[in-house]
């Protein structure tokens, strides 16, 4: 799946997908869930990871 296709699937811009990939933007829970679904993964942790937990 291309960035463009993923962006369209979750209704955001391609820039937002790029920012997500590069870890420069923390998505909302809804966006994280939508991206997980679009990538056909089961859990949000399969796509996103927290580097540090305070």
Partner 1 sequence: MVIAKPEWFKKKKGFFSFEMTWQGTLYLIATVSLIFIGMMLPQNMLISLPIIGLFLFLFFDMIYASLQSMDERERSHYSIAMRNAAWGMIITMIIVTTILSSFNGIKDNLGVLIMITAFVGAIINFSTRYKLEKES
Query: Which residue ranges make up the site for partner 1 (CB under 8 A)?
Result: 11-16, 19, 24-25, 27-28, 31
Q: Are 14 and 3 in contact (CB under 8 A)?
A: yes
Is the CB of 5 or the CB of 15 nearer to partner 1? Answer: 15
Is the CB of 28 or the CB of 40 nearer to partner 1? Answer: 28
Chain centroid to CA 37: how far?
10
Is the CB of 28 or the CB of 42 nearer to partner 1? Answer: 28
- Closest distance between partner 1 and the C-beta of residue 24, in Å? 5
Distances from the Cα of 18 to the Cα of 1, 37, 48, 53, 54, angstroms? 13, 18, 14, 23, 26
């Amino acid at each position: 799946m291309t960035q463009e296709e993923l962006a369209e699937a979750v209704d955001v811009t391609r820039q937002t997908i790029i920012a997500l990939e590069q870890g420069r933007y923390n998505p909302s829970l809804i966006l994280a869930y939508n991206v997980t679904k679009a990538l056909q993964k089961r859990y949000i942790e399969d796509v996103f990871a927290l580097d540090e937990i305070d």
